[in-house]
Structure 1
Amino acid sequence: MKITALLPMKGHSERVPNKNMRLFCGRPLYHCVAGVLQKSTLVSSFVINTDSREIAEDARRHFSKVRVNERPEHLCGDFVPMNDIIGCDLSASTGEHFLQTHSTNPLLTINTLEKAIRDYFAGIGVYDSLFSVTRLQSRLYWESGAPVNHNPQELLRTQDLPPLFEENSNFYLFSKASFAAAGNKRIGLSPKMFEVNKLEAVDIDEEEDFQLAELLFKSRVRK
């Protein structure tokens, strides 16, 4: 039930400058997730695919389970699909089962990650992959004003609405075989959704996200 984790990171970030190496509660942001991968007994090793010498050197210095893949030039830039980067890592790995996560999910806990890994292996034969989601039970509308998931004439309580699930990019679990069968995509042809609570699923895209995540992390540490 061991798995290889993938933690891709680039040096440049548009909306939050130097995001991955920016200090988050006193240490580089990516150390939060990398620390979880380092501690997990279900993660045999983790791969950091990066174009940044600073990130590569810092990772080798702090994490014994890390392997750094220097990102080839044709995969550098802001518009390269993540599945292309994953494909690069899979081609260089002898493993069969993989977990891909992001440095921008600092509240992800080892308990959640290991439960997802166990669920993934328990479901093989029924599902070929697993990805994390956040439950939404709100009254949603299309841009046109048309309702998405409710009848405005009924006004059901939000907790009685049929839930929708948002792909939150916290993590993806898959195999080399499922990745290939899906046309080189991390979500396979028969995936399982794994629900993560809203606080733990916070993802850092904007400056406000960084500030919110840091406050939540500090609150967790104080408890």
Structure 2
Amino acid sequence: MDLVTAIVPMRHSSERVPGKNYRPLGGLPLYQHVVTTLLATPGVGEVVIDTDSETILEEAARVFPSVTLVERPAHLRDGHTPMNAVLEHSIGHAHYEAILQTHSTNPFVRAETFEAAIRRFFDSEGIDSVFGATRIQGRLWTEDLTAVNHDPAVLARTQDLAPIYLENSCFYVFSKATLRDGGNRLGKSPAIVEVDALEATDIDVETEFRLAEIIEASQLFGVR
């Protein structure tokens, strides 16, 4: 069976939601949700946490003894450092050639969804990378009021509009060679794996953390 190394990069500090990566969600630090899911995904052969956080390094070593912990070097710790640069460092600690990168801020992505992305990468011809995206079927406009995906003179039903996909950062699957050769986790021939908007919930601001708490309390994604 083809396997991937799953990489979860996370910083200790967060400007908009202080301490969010290790802030409790449903009784567990936020990052533990996605790591637990990755460990339950059949196509994930190993999990790597890349972080500058002593809190996460110490705790994860105890809770997840099978996970590889990588302390991020000082020159990659600035919040403006491009993710591709961080990943170029992280893949040096990966056993497998294929990489799945995700975020601690996507706590509700299912193991089945990660597995679908991995299988799409390995089983589809002519693609060199996979990313998660959420379908949008609504009337979209640019800031200067140009209609993007519809004719304002024709009031078509939204369900009849051609869908547009929003890259949601839930996961990226790629090879080490794609990242090293192109400097990007997305290659020249990517493919989309669709993720439902609720499953793709991402935590960037305080209101989104509050929403995640409501979703977790509802147990929509099962007891974890």
Normalised by the shorter chain, which TM-score bucket?
Answer: over 0.9
Q: How far, CA to CA, are the matches of 2:64 and 2:168 in structure 1? A: 26
Task: Provide the residue aligned with 2:190 in structure 1.
Answer: 191
Q: How far, CA to CA, are the matches of 2:178 and 2:40 in structure 1? A: 27
Matches within 5 A, 1:21-32: 21-32=22-33
Unaligned runs of 5+ in 2: none
Residue 18 (1) aligns with residue 19 (2): yes
Code of the residue aligned with 1:23 in structure 2: it is P
Q: Which runs of 4+ in 1 moved over 3 A?
A: none
Task: Provide the residue aligned with 1:136 in structure 2.
Answer: 136
Cα root mean square deviation, aligned = 1.1
Q: How far, CA to CA, are the matches of 1:110 and 1:94 in structure 2? A: 21
Code of the residue aligned with 1:17 in structure 2: it is P
Does the Cα contact within 8 Å between 2:150 and 2:161 map onto a contact in 1? yes
Does the Cα contact within 8 Å between 1:5 and 1:98 map onto a contact in 2? yes
Q: How far, CA to CA, are the matches of 2:212 and 2:194 in structure 1? A: 19
Task: Provide the residue aligned with 1:203 in structure 2.
Answer: 202
Q: 3-state DSSP class of the match of 1:8?
A: strand
Code of the residue aligned with 1:163 in structure 2: it is P
Code of the residue aligned with 1:44 in structure 2: it is G
Q: How far, CA to CA, are the matches of 1:102 and 1:135 in structure 2? A: 20
Does the Cα contact within 8 Å between 1:38 and 1:64 map onto a contact in 2? no
TM-score (norm 1): 0.95
Q: How far, CA to CA, are the matches of 2:146 and 2:30 in structure 1? A: 40
Unaligned runs of 5+ in 1: none
Code of the residue aligned with 1:185 in structure 2: it is N
Matches within 5 A, 1:59-208: 59-123=60-124, 125-181=125-181, 183-208=182-207
How far 1:15 moved relative to its partner?
0.5
How far 1:37 moved relative to its partner?
1.2
Q: How far, CA to CA, are the matches of 2:175 and 2:187 in structure 1? A: 9
How far 1:95 moved relative to its partner?
2.1
Does the Cα contact within 8 Å between 1:38 and 1:65 map onto a contact in 2? no
Q: How far, CA to CA, are the matches of 2:42 and 2:141 in structure 1? A: 43
How many residue pairs end up in the alignment?
220
How far 1:116 moved relative to its partner?
1.4
Does the Cα contact within 8 Å between 1:49 and 1:69 map onto a contact in 2? yes
